[in-house]
Amino acid sequence: MAARDPYEVLGVKKEATEDEIRTAYRKLAKKHHPDLNPGNKEAEARFKEIAVAYDLLSDKDKRARFDRGEIDASGAERPEHAYSRYRGFAEGAPGERYEFHSAEGMAPEDLDDLFAFFGRGQRGGGPGRGGGPVRMRGADLHFALTVDFLTAINGAKQRLQLAPERSLEVTIPAGVRDGQILRLKGQGGAGLNEGPPGDALIEIHVAPHPFFRREGDDIHLELPVTLAEAVLGGKVTVPTPSGPVSMTIPANSNTGRVLRLRGKGAPRPGGDPGDEYVTLRVTLPEGDDAALAAFLRDWAPKHPYDPRRGMAS
Amino acid sequence: MISFEAVIRLVVGLNEAELRHWIAERWVRPESGAEGYVFAEVDVARVQLIHELRYELAIDEEAMPVVLQLLDQVYALRRRLRVALDAIDAQPDEIRAAIRARCGAED
């Protein structure tokens, strides 16, 4: 198939500027991008043509060669323009991950009201509509639930409002992860003609914490320590998701030193819990301290050091 | 399963800070694994799509959530529609004919 003239495809003149070409491309691409036109084969074919034309005309060198007639519009030497193939996934089960987009937390899936039509006519179906009653499983309903950081680690029961007049108590299992989906059997839409009800699928969003950070099942925490604690060592109280614990800081601990509190991370189903990693950050006293300044002025380090020696070029 | 670094390599022109930002905005939702984020194919395709929307189609940061939300709704509808069509397909001929007639009549 001979490719159409790229100027014609983009609807621009031979002498169009780069900007004009880009603008024309954007306008057409917005209209025909396959991911924005799921199920529309024509849009896909059109987009490919547009992309090929733009690949050619947006490349100064190729455009010049095309203008001189050295290469043709099909540009056989050019790899095909790569574009996202999101819809291939989004149309199937993997796309369910992006079912809702609400950051607010609960977003009752309003699509399901469309499918409530399955429930209609249960009584009124009557004779003459052909065949016996069709039994059908109810639709799965999708919800999002935002839980706070510590709830996700320690577990809790939380109420989820499914509809104005219907709420449900959800058991948040300890250690639940952001994005995890809880399935509540039989809590979804009603079945048709005594078909079983669907399930409620609840996507958990975990809110961030002001000072804990979670990586897998481990918790990370940056712990400010005083100059004296860093140099002399000592016992300090450290917050963990299950409550404060006492930790010994070894003498001469610098900023960045990481201490591990075993088992103080998130619980892991069927395994040992994660750990908490505490990264020390040495913090100077606030405000002027004449005594400290005087001490440092007179202080001759036993081991003189240059912390930036690795940076010398 | 694909790592954060691999996604940066796969999507030409994508930088790390930007991908982190998209994740923070929940435009992309990879799972968190022990070694950091874990991307499924759908996530990578979505990153590619957002990158295209952002740079090829010049959709700005402000408009992006609106575009993605509408897109998510379209795909959710299409997934459900497919389920509904499959269910209709599994019905006896006369029911399918009745549904066809009804849909045609209401067009």
Q: Where are the domains of chain A?
A: 6-88, 99-112+136-206, 212-299
Alpha helices in B1-107 (DSSP H): 4-10, 16-24, 41-51, 64-89, 93-106
Determine, for residues A216 and B40 on separate chains, whether the beta-carbon distance falls below 8 Å.
no
Q: Does residue B67 sit in the same domain as residue B54? A: no
Identify the pLDDT of residue A291.
93
Q: Does residue B1 sit in the same domain as residue B51? A: yes
How far B85 CA lies from chain A's nearest CA (Å)?
12
Determine, for residues B57 and A26 on separate chains, whether the beta-carbon distance falls below 8 Å.
yes
Identify the pLDDT of residue A261.
96
Ranges of residues in chain B with a pLDDT under 50 are 106-107
Identify the pLDDT of residue A114.
58
In CATH terms, the fold of domain A212-299 is HSP40/DNAj peptide-binding domain (2.60.260)
Q: Does residue B16 sit in the same domain as residue B31? A: yes
Note whether A4 contacts B: Cβ–Cβ < 8 A: no
Q: Does residue B33 sit in the same domain as residue B15? A: yes
User: Which residues of chain A lie closer than 8 angstroms to B51, CB-CB?
Assistant: 84
Residue of chain B with shortest Cα separation from A85: B45
Q: Does residue B49 sit in the same domain as residue B4? A: yes
User: Which residues of chain A lie closer than 8 angstroms to B92, CB-CB?
Assistant: 130-131
CATH topology match: A99-112+136-206 vs A212-299: yes
Which of A26, A114, A115 is opposite residue B58, by nearest beta carbon? A26
User: Which residues of chain A lie closer than 8 angstroms to B26, CB-CB?
Assistant: 101, 103, 205
Determine, for residues A130 and B77 on separate chains, whether the beta-carbon distance falls below 8 Å.
no
Nearest residue to A109 via CA among B71, B73, B75: B73
Q: How far are the Cα atoms of A126, A127, A133 from residue A123, in angstroms, in the given order?
A: 7, 11, 10
d(CA A219, CA A277): 6
d(CA B71, CA B65): 10
Nearest residue to A63 via CA among A30, A2, A22: A22
The four Cα atoms A124, A129, A135, A139 give a dihedral, to 10 degrees, of: -70
Identify the pLDDT of residue B96.
85
Superfamily of domain A6-88: DnaJ domain (1.10.287.110)
Q: Does residue B82 sit in the same domain as residue B102? A: yes
- Interface size between A and B, measured as CB pairs under 8 A: 117
Note whether A135 contacts B: Cβ–Cβ < 8 A: no
Which residue type occupies A169?
E
Which residue type occupies B4?
F
Q: Does residue B53 sit in the same domain as residue B88? A: no
d(CA A221, CA B61): 31
For residue A226 the two structure tokens come to 């005083």
pLDDT tens for each residue of chain A, 313 residues long: 456 889 999 999 999 999 999 999 999 998 999 888 888 888 888 888 898 898 889 888 889 888 888 887 766 444 455 566 788 888 888 888 887 544 343 344 555 555 555 544 444 334 444 445 667 788 888 888 888 999 999 999 888 877 677 788 888 999 998 888 888 888 888 887 778 888 888 889 899 999 999 998 999 999 999 999 999 999 999 999 999 999 999 999 999 999 999 999 999 877 889 999 999 999 999 989 999 999 999 998 998 888 898 887 6
Q: What is the pTM of this model?
A: 0.49
Identify the pLDDT of residue A194.
79
Helix, strand, or coil (residue A10): helix
Q: Does residue B25 sit in the same domain as residue B42? A: yes
Q: Please state the domain count of chain B.
A: 2
Q: Does residue B50 sit in the same domain as residue B67? A: no
> Which of B26, B52, B56 is most worth mutating to test chain A (most A CB atoms within 10 A of its CB)?
B56
Q: Does residue B7 sit in the same domain as residue B55? A: yes
Identify the pLDDT of residue A110.
52
Determine, for residues B49 and A84 on separate chains, whether the beta-carbon distance falls below 8 Å.
yes
In CATH terms, the fold of domain A99-112+136-206 is HSP40/DNAj peptide-binding domain (2.60.260)
Note whether A5 contacts B: Cβ–Cβ < 8 A: no
Q: C-alpha angle A54/A56/A62, rounded to 5°? A: 150
Which of B29, B94, B95 is opposite residue A98, by nearest beta carbon? B29
| CB < 8 Å from B in window 150-189 of A | 177-179
Q: Does residue B101 sit in the same domain as residue B84? A: yes
Q: What residues make up the domain containing B23?
A: 1-59
Axis-axis angle for helices A41-57, A60-67 (nearest 10): 90
Q: Does residue B67 sit in the same domain as residue B52? A: no
